[in-house]
């Protein structure tokens, strides 16, 4: 398993370097602005490197692992490829929001439909919930990809937790894919940490959101872990993005437009470094999210209660932090 992660990480690092070179040659740069959290022009679209590495290793798995069902890996690879192409095109040309939403919805719907036919999802209500969840997660990771290392590290954290849970349930197909994702994210991070040499771009963030969502839906559907555990695994991003979206909608704002209202963006605007924000988010993952997941796995009868408590703690922390940043802004 360690060899798998290292191999995926190495290929991801090399391909991210190639994607960075390409972005510079094509002048695909994110420039600083009122709605950005960086201070100098930086290439975007580096996520194409780790996505390509992920698809390569999943493709090899599809060719070699003939003793297990190929339905989920095939759906995952196809959906990832389509959304990565959508993001790649958006990184080159600003797509209309309606086109993006339409493609994302079709991919989410087809993925859920195939999983339903395969018996992973049963009933129209779970299918509808899975569709909405996948569609939202695709956008969620896109929104949260705005600070150096943040989305990549979240992908690494989530995939390692998922790999452990899949392995514990005996689902080695899910564990293998999660480890491939872990290695792919790890290989991208050297290019994006600290003073970022490249940003993930839509090509990477849309794909990452889809992969994480699909793995969570698949794991909950196959009983590798329970639904409340699935929600806790990605709770940090889920709470930040969802509450920010709710506030923007209540204010009558166009929620899909670029902005700097997420908590991590507010912290950077108040003087926090990208590294400090990353450490704070991962500290929450390790000190709150991971214990909640472990408790939920070991005491499944209390998993929903644990998920509710975790959600309340994260929501309260989000509110207090947002309030504090607003007070600091008013004081200047």
Max CA pair span of the chain: 63
Q: Is 177 left (phi over 0), alpha (psi -120 to 50) or beta?
A: alpha
Q: How far is CA 189 from CA 12, 103, 240, in A?
A: 10, 28, 22
Q: What is the pLDDT of residue 32?
A: 63
DSSP 26-40: TT-EEPP-TT-S-SS
Q: What is the pLDDT of residue 249?
A: 85
Please compute the mean of the pLDDT values over residues 3-16 and round it to a whole number: 93
- In this predicted structure, the answer to whether residue 112 has a pLDDT above a threshold of 50 is yes
Q: What is the pLDDT of residue 332?
A: 40
Query: Residue 171: which residues within 8 A CB-CB, separation 6 or more?
Result: 219, 222, 224
Q: In angstroms, rounded to a whole number, what is the distance separating the alpha carbons of residues 106 and 118?
A: 18
Cβ atoms within 10 Å of 119's Cβ, excluding its own: 11
Q: How far is CA 303 from CA 211, 213, 240, 244, 306, in A?
A: 24, 19, 21, 25, 5
Q: What is the pLDDT of residue 176?
A: 94
236 token code pair: 């940090």
Q: What is the pLDDT of residue 195?
A: 84
Q: What is the pLDDT of residue 327?
A: 52
For 136-221, where are the E strands, in sequence order?
Answer: none
Q: Please give the backbone phi and psi of residue 30, each rounded to the nearest 5 degrees, phi first.
A: -90, 120
pLDDT tens, position by position, 93-106: 888 888 999 999 99
Closest by CA to 223, choosing from 149, 119, 74, 111, is 119
CA angle 198, 200, 203 (to 5 degrees): 130
The pLDDT-based confidence of 258 (bands split at 50, 70, 90) is: low
Q: In angstroms, rounded to a whole number, what is the distance separating the alpha carbons of residues 226 and 61?
A: 26
Q: What is the pLDDT of residue 325?
A: 76
pTM over 0.95: no
164 token code pair: 């452990």
Mean pLDDT is highest, among 24-38, 68-82, 190-204, 290-304, for 290-304
CA 222 to chain centroid: 21
The pLDDT-based confidence of 35 (bands split at 50, 70, 90) is: low
pLDDT tens, position by position, 173-193: 999 999 999 999 999 999 998
Q: In angstroms, rounded to a whole number, what is the distance separating the alpha carbons of residues 3 and 101?
A: 38
Q: What is the pLDDT of residue 161?
A: 98
Q: What is the pLDDT of residue 95?
A: 86
């Amino acid at each position: 398993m360690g060899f798998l992660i290292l191999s995926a990480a190495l290929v991801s690092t090399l391909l991210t370097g190639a994607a960075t070179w390409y972005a510079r040659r094509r002048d695909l740069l994110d420039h600083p602005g009122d709605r950005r959290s960086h201070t100098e022009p930086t290439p975007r679209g580096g996520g194409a490197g780790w996505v390509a590495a992920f698809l390569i290793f999943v493709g090899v798995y599809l060719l070699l692992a003939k003793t297990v069902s190929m339905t989920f890996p095939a759906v995952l690879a196809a959906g990832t490829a389509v959304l990565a192409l959508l993001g790649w095109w958006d990184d080159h040309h600003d797509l209309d929001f309606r086109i993006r939403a339409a493609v994302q919805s079709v991919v989410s719907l087809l993925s859920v439909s195939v999983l339903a036919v395969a018996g992973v999802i049963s009933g129209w209500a779970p299918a509808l919930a899975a569709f909405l969840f996948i569609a939202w997660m695709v956008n969620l990771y896109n929104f949260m990809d705005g600070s150096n290392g943040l989305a990549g590290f979240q992908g690494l954290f989530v995939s390692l937790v998922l790999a452990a849970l899949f392995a514990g349930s005996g689902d080695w197909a899910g564990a293998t894919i999660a480890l491939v994702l872990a290695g792919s994210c790890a290989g991208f991070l050297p290019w994006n940490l600290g003073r970022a040499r490249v940003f993930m771009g839509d090509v990477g963030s849309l794909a990452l959101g889809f992969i994480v969502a699909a793995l969570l839906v698949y794991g909950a559907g196959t009983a590798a872990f329970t639904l409340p555990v699935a929600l806790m695994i990605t709770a940090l991003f889920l709470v930040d993005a969802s509450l920010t979206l709710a506030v923007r909608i209540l204010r009558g704002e166009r929620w899909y437009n670029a902005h700097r209202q997420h908590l991590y963006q507010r912290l950077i605007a108040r003087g926090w470094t990208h590294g400090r924000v990353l450490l704070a988010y991962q500290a929450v993952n390790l000190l709150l999210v991971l214990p909640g997941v472990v408790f939920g796995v070991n005491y499944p009868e209390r998993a929903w209660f644990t998920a509710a408590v975790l959600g309340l703690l994260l929501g309260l922390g989000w509110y207090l932090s947002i309030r504090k940043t607003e007070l600091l802004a008013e004081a200047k």
